[in-house]
Amino acid sequence: MASRCGRRWWRRHQGIQFTKIPVNLEFSVSEATVVTELRPPVALTIAGSDSGGGAGIQADLRTFAFQRVHGTAALTCVTAQNTLGVSRVDALPPEAVAAQIEAVVGDIGVQGIKTGMLLNQEIVQEVAHQVERLGLNPLVVDPVMVSRTGAKLLAEEAIVAIRERLIPLAQVLTPNRYEAQILSGLELHSLEDMKAAAERIGYQGSPAVLVKGGGMPGELQGVDVWFDGQRLEVLKTERIPTRHTHGTGCTLSAAIAAQLAWGKEPFEAVQQAKLYVTEALRHPLAIGAGQGPVGHFYPLLG
């Protein structure tokens, strides 16, 4: 087959330009071939699969890649999901979740971990047990409870387990409006409410809390509140006017875990992660009939 090395071509799809990376299809081994071995940081996501590719494990692994971190994954459940909603969820046995974590940690090692959709109490308890047993840190806990499309992603009784078993192990906790209301017992309507919730959750035993504003009204949609026991900071970006916000929380928490894996301090990791999710929101994917995902690969666009 003829070599295509050096040839570039463009594919146009709904106004987006993709650059095809030139691939040399003629395989030949020569002494001049140079192999560059990389030793990237490794991050682990413990989360659910989203068949639509917008949230969950799929969003996490793409985010890890764009933060130049090798992504590993322990699946907790499989959702049948698209831009319109979730039609079915199948849980994995807690032992299967534990085995995946052990396999990754025992051989490859991880420098940053995040949890996403954990689905039920048994899985939450098993994950907390493994995090403790294997001394996994730094840990980002995204306490996923309900999807953007309104589907319940966590059993009611698992909320207590998240609060009592998992949150105390986290370096960073990232509740959205709905989750912050449950964890703080406060209603969130304003920036002052977000600050009060962050403090209340923080004083319950989380080293650092980021209350996310995606579900807040109006201009608060780009605003998050950070509290680490000392600093109360407001992270503000402009509101991006798009309905394609599927996977924002997963992307943010995965990017924080990746930045922590690079050795960043938690607050700096959060700032970097927010920049990434904001740009991904600025390049959303208008796919499907409902709420499309954020555009993780915007850095590749010309």
Ligand X SMILES: Nc1ncnc2c1ncn2[C@@H]1O[C@H](COP(=O)(O)OP(=O)(O)O)[C@@H](O)[C@H]1O
Residues acting as catalytic residues: 212, 245, 247-250
The answer to whether the beta carbons of residues 284 and 293 sit under 8 Å apart is yes
In the complex, what is the shortest distance from the CB of residue 145 to ligand X, in angstroms, rounded to a whole number?
A: 9
Q: Looking at 67, 147, 174, 253, which residue binds ligand MP5 (CB under 6 A)?
A: 147
Q: Looking at 114, 163, 195, 246, which residue binds ligand MP5 (CB under 6 A)?
A: 246
Q: Looking at 48, 112, 202, 295, which residue binds ligand MP5 (CB under 6 A)?
A: 48
Q: Looking at 144, 197, 240, 260, which residue binds ligand MP5 (CB under 6 A)?
A: 144
Task: Examine residue 293 and tell whether it contacts ligand X (CB under 6 A).
Answer: no
Query: Amino acid identity, residue 248?
Result: T
In the complex, what is the shortest distance from the CB of residue 247 to ligand MP5, in angstroms, rounded to a whole number?
A: 5
Task: Examine residue 45 and tell whether it contacts ligand MP5 (CB under 6 A).
Answer: no
Residue 224: name its binding partner from ligand MP5, ligand X, none (Cβ under 5 to 8 Å by kind): ligand X
Q: Residue 277's closest CA among 295, 263, 290?
A: 295
d(CA 104, CA 119): 21
Given the complex with ligand X, which of 137 and 237 has the nearer CB atom? 237
Give the CB-nearest residue to ligand MP5: 56
Radius of gyration of the chain, Cα coordinates, nearest whole angstrom:
20
- x/- mask, ligand MP5, residues 107-136, rule CB under 6 A, reads ---------xx-------------------
Task: Examine residue 292 and tell whether it contacts ligand MP5 (CB under 6 A).
Answer: no
Task: Examine residue 73 and tell whether it contacts ligand MP5 (CB under 6 A).
Answer: no
Task: Examine residue 56 and tell whether it contacts ligand MP5 (CB under 6 A).
Answer: yes
The answer to whether the beta carbons of residues 244 and 293 sit under 8 Å apart is yes
Q: H/E/C letters for each residue in 168-219?
A: HHCCEECCCHHHHHHHHCCCCCCHHHHHHHHHHHHHCCCCCEEECCCCCCHH
Q: Looking at 245, 258, 269, 293, which residue binds ligand X (CB under 6 A)?
A: 245
Task: Examine residue 83 and tell whether it contacts ligand MP5 (CB under 6 A).
Answer: no
Task: Examine residue 252 and tell whether it contacts ligand X (CB under 6 A).
Answer: yes
Residue 215: name its binding partner from ligand MP5, ligand X, none (Cβ under 5 to 8 Å by kind): ligand X
d(CA 196, CA 217): 17
Q: Summarize as ranges the residues that interact with ligand X (CB under 6 A).
A: 176, 212-215, 221-222, 224, 237, 239-240, 245, 248-249, 252, 274, 277-278, 281
Q: Summarize as ranges the residues that interact with ligand MP5 (CB under 6 A).
A: 47-48, 50, 55-56, 79, 81, 116-117, 144, 147-148, 153, 246-250
